[in-house]
Amino acid sequence: MTTELLRYEKLAGDLQGLIAGGVLRHGDRLPSLRRLATERRLSLSTVVQALRQLEDRGLVEARPQSGYFVRRSLPPRAEPVLRSTPEVAVPVDVTQRLIRIASR
């Protein structure tokens, strides 16, 4: 059984490919909602859903009264150097822990 992508997922994937391939670059304006809907023969709500998916991925941003634009790619977040949990189990004295918390 093959799982076919939904229409908005296909559109989002196509636009993401254009961004990843450098066809659409930072600051470029995406085609209007109506133009995408007409060219792809999709409903406006399908196009909006695709663009919202790209917004959630951090690839595009909506600008009121202007349309959708390709966002600047953010550098990957660095992993924290220190771990908040120890590598091995450590015995915990509940009384000492409560005293430490209460004395803050």
pLDDT tens digits along 58-83:
999 999 999 999 998 766 667 666 76
Top-tier CATH class for 7-70: mainly alpha
Per-residue pLDDT tens over the stretch 21-56 = 999 999 999 999 999 999 999 999 999 999 999 999
Give the per-residue pLDDT at 74: 61
Report whether 81 contacts 36 (CB < 8 A): no
Pure H helices in the chain: 7-20, 33-40, 44-56, 94-102
Higher pLDDT among residues 31 and 84, named by residue:
31
Structure tokens at 14: 């196509």
| Closest by CA position to 23, among listed 15, 32, 31 | 15
Higher pLDDT among residues 96 and 62, named by residue:
62
Structure tokens at 80: 């924290």
Position 12 pLDDT exceeds 60: yes
Stated pTM of the model: 0.67
| 3 state SS of 20 | helix
